[in-house]
């Protein structure tokens, strides 16, 4: 497995792969990998990637000053061992200086899907994500890009970016992966105390119950949203948002659409902000 740190070497590697007729898949990550990330590698291959490049970069511009950029967990050696075992072809792990060294004044902004949900408490987050992902695309030159359903809003924003800016890339959204007890896999789960982790199980549990209730038309959507909020609060969580939205447009859903919809939420357990969602047709 090749470990590449510079954009020029990355582009060179990718051009060689294309010349050899390979289909290059990119799996962008911030490292500290878990099974959710590793499943994205499988999704890239299942969608035709014959070379998989995993990028590992903790992107400073998607963190607000009060957020966890400094303490975000990092372990490149461990990540590389996991990816090597997964037969990943290359890791692109640039430094902050390599990515942003020239004091950039150009950014990529999505103006609709990136405004609600997580953006209400993280207003600068998605501009950081779209900008870095555009830069990673230009470094890795992929044919296929895989993002997780865990970050449901991010995946839709990036899909829109690919569409609107004509990136010649097939964007694939890979299913959310959970622990056996239901907790959505996240590098940030590491911050949770045992007590907080136990309390946080309310998220997946209440989303599952919400889906079941809606599927049997047992309650209106606003009543279900209130019920999820109540369950989170009584388990010691602090609700950031709980919404029911169209899975493509992220617009509020209040009645049956016949399309894919999602219950999406964010909540704090202690100082840790967790997100989760459930996606189904309704």
List residues binding ligand PAF (CB under 6 A).
28-30, 59, 62, 129, 132-133, 151, 154
Q: Which is nearer to ligand PAF, 153 or 206 (CB)?
A: 153
Q: Least distance in Å: CB of 252 to ligand PAF?
A: 24
- Output helix, strand, coil percentages for the chain, rounded to the nearest 5: 40, 20, 35
**Interatomic CA distance for residues 52 and 142, integer angstroms:** 9
The secondary element (H helix, E strand) that includes residue 195 is helix 194-215
Query: Which residue among 5, 18, 34, 37 is the active-site one?
Result: 37
CA dist 148 and 41 (Å) reads: 11
Specify whether the CB–CB gap between 159 and 171 falls below 8 A.
yes
CB atoms within 10 A of CB 248: 14
**How are strands ordered across the β-sheet holding 90-92?**
2-4, 90-92, 51-56, 24-29, 144-148, 170-174
Q: How far is the CB of 282 from ligand PAF (least distance, A)?
A: 26
Q: Taking the complex as a whole, how short is the minimal distance between the CB of residue 125 and ligand PAF, in angstroms?
A: 8
Cross-strand bridge partners of residue 146: 172
State the greatest distance between any 2 C-alpha atoms of the chain, in Å, as a whole number.
58
In the bound state with ligand PAF, the residue whose beta carbon lies nearer, of 164 and 226, is 164
Cβ proximity of 52 and 23 under 8 Å: no
Residues in the chain: 282
Beta strands, E only, the chain:
2-4, 24-29, 51-56, 90-92, 144-148, 170-174, 238-246, 260-269, 272-281
Contacts of 39 (CB under 8 A, 6+ apart): 148, 174, 175, 177
Residue pair 115/127 in contact (Cβ under 8 Å)? The answer is: no
Task: Give the shortest CB-58-to-ligand PAF separation in angstroms.
Answer: 8
- Of 54 and 207, nearer to ligand PAF (C-beta) is 54
Residue among 90 and 228 whose Cβ is closer to ligand PAF: 90
Q: Which is nearer to ligand PAF, 51 or 132 (CB)?
A: 132
Specify the residue, 54 or 265, whose C-beta has the smaller distance to ligand PAF.
54
Tell me, yes or no, if 5 is annotated catalytic.
Answer: no
Catalytic residue numbers read: 37
């Amino acid at each position: 497995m090749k470990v590449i740190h510079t954009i020029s070497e990355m582009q060179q590697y990718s051009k060689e792969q294309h010349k050899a007729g390979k289909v290059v898949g990119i799996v962008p990550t911030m490292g500290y990998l878990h099974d959710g990330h590793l499943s994205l590698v499988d999704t890239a291959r299942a969608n035709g990637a014959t070379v998989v490049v995993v990028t590992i970069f903790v992107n400073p511009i998607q963190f607000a000053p009060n957020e966890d950029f400094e303490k975000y967990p990092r372990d490149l050696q461990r990540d590389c061992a996991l990816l090597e075992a997964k037969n990943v072809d290359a890791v692109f792990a640039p430094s902050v200086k390599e990515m942003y060294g020239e004091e950039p004044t150009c950014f990529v902004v999505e103006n609709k899907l990136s405004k609600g949900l997580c953006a209400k408490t993280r207003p600068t987050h998605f501009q950081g994500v779209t900008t870095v992902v555009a830069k990673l695309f230009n470094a890795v030159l992929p044919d296929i890009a895989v993002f997780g359903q865990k970050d449901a809003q991010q995946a839709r924003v990036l899909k829109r970016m690919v569409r609107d800016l004509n990136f010649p890339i097939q964007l694939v959204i890979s299913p959310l992966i959970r622990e056996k007890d239901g907790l959505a896999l996240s590098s940030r789960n590491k911050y949770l105390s045992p007590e907080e982790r136990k309390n946080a199980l309310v998220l997946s549990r209440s989303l599952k119950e919400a889906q079941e209730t809606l599927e049997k038309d047992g309650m209106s959507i606003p009543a279900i949203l209130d019920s999820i909020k109540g369950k989170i609060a009584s388990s010691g969580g602090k609700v950031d948002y709980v919404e029911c939205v169209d899975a493509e447009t992220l617009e509020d859903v209040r009645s049956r659409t016949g399309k894919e919809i999602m219950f999406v939420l964010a909540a704090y357990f202690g100082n840790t902000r967790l997100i989760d969602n459930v996606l189904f047709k309704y």
